[in-house]
Amino acid sequence: MKSVGVAILGLGVVGGGTYKILRDHREYFQRTQGVDITVESVLEINKEKALALGIEEGKISDNIAEVISNPNVDIVVEVIGGVEPAKSFVLAALHSGKTVVTSNKELFCKYWHELEKAAKRTNAGLYFEASCVSGVPIIRTLIDGMQANVIENLTGIINGTTNYILTRMSREGSGYEEVLKEAQRLGYAEADPAADVEGYDAAYKLSILSSLAFHTKVPLDKVYREGITDIRPQDIAYGQELGYVLKLLAIGKNGQNGIEVRVHPAFIRKEHPLAAVSDSFNAVFLKGDSVGDIMLYGRGAGALPTGSAIVSDVIYAATHNDIKYTTFKNSAQAEAGVKFVNDFRSRYYIRFTAKDKAGALAKVAGVLAKYGISIVDLIQKGEDCEDIPVILITHETNEYAVRRALDKVAALDDVVSVDSVIRVEV
């Protein structure tokens, strides 16, 4: 039976979960996968944390050079997070010829090209299933399950924190700040939640996933990003009246005009499969030209779900001699000639406050018409009020046209304010 030694860099939540799976399932992997996987080294400053997991003291180190030079280590698992020192540690492992498995989406998104170049130089493996959507095997699906398809569309809920917050806001009518504090108390959100609530985490993942789906490098700076901090409960409620559910979506499209990649809040029809994805769960909806629609669903965070993806990569690396790298030119920037769509098309939910005067809505409609924007649904709220909220849904139109039109609408004498603009995906 083949024996494979693993080093784990970092014993935080995910590192600890990974160690537990490898320890508890060792005999199961021997029986079902034909490989004996042992943890030969861990990099952890807090020795007591490692000892509490049952790791032998002689396998605990605070020196990366010592870990990488260990001849019993074949695969290095990086679960430190962030860019440094993770980047230096991963490059050192690859330069020494060790296969690397990582869950680090920020590092991978920003420096994938450097990591792959180092891996190719020493013929080392480089695996990253756990970097996107935790325990949901989306990367293996894209690489090994969808080869027969030209993927036209990738739409996902790929951040558990924001999905939890929006779910609570939708169910309870609570405000963003109130739900965020509860999410932080429960451990769903970090003390500094910006990476999640401002959409950075989802943008990192979309950059990786769309590059794989469309077989071309999609750099982070090509991803339009907008978070959920400006979402208000009344907009969620109005959307529900119209038959919509609000989600933070990661959207990738590959069409005739080019590649479109964006992360932002969006209303989707309550009948859409993604509308039922609640709390901290994640899902990715794919459309292939041969297979049609596919959705993968599961937990998007946590020690064991993320550890599951990491260990899956460890087993894959241990049982496959052939090493696959990207199918595209992996560089810092997109390849010359690849077009990206900035002026994308969508429907729009628009809420504005108007003075209760005859002709006010007609003036707004007139401005929108000048920019080729027509209205599908319209709701006027309030009676006998000086100022009234108005909600409308547009037909599909261009992003830039909406921005220009709303600048003009906001300047109308009969419009008090433009309060909310949310895209509607159908």
Q: Show which residues are catalytic.
A: 205
Q: Are 393 and 348 in contact (CB under 8 A)?
A: yes
Structure tokens at 173: 């009518």
CA–CA distance, 208 with 215 (Å, rounded to integer): 11
Interior/surface letters 315-351, b for 16+ CB within 10 angstroms, e for the rest: bbbbeeeeeeebebebeeebeeebebbeebebbbbbb
DSSP tag of 97: T
For residue 398, give both structure tokens. 């261009």
Q: Strand pairing partners for 151? A: 288
Q: What tokens does 29 get?
A: 């992997």
Q: Which tokens hold the place of 43?
A: 């990099």
**Surface-to-core class of residue 395, CB atoms within 10 Å of its CB (0-12 exposed, 13-18 middle, 19+ buried):** exposed
What element of type H or E holds 275? none
The residues, any chain, with a CB within 8 Å of residue 4's CB and separated by 6 or more, are 35, 36, 37, 38, 74, 75, 314, 318
What are the tokens at 44?
Answer: 């952890």
Segments in 123-249 forming alpha helices (H): 138-144, 160-172, 176-186, 194-197, 200-214, 233-241
Check if the beta carbon of residue 262 is closer than 8 Å to that of residue 224: yes
Cβ-based neighbours of 216, under 8 Å, separated by 6 or more = 259, 328, 329, 334, 335, 338
* Token pair of 379 as six digits: 């709701």
Locate all alpha helices (DSSP H) within 69-137, ordered by sequence: 86-95, 105-122
Contact between residue 70 and residue 36 where contact means Cβ atoms under 8 Å apart: no
| CA atoms within 13 A of residue 100's CA, in its CB half-sphere | 35
Dist. CA 218–CA 364, nearest whole Å? 38
Q: Give CA–CA dist 110/129, Å, rounded.
A: 16
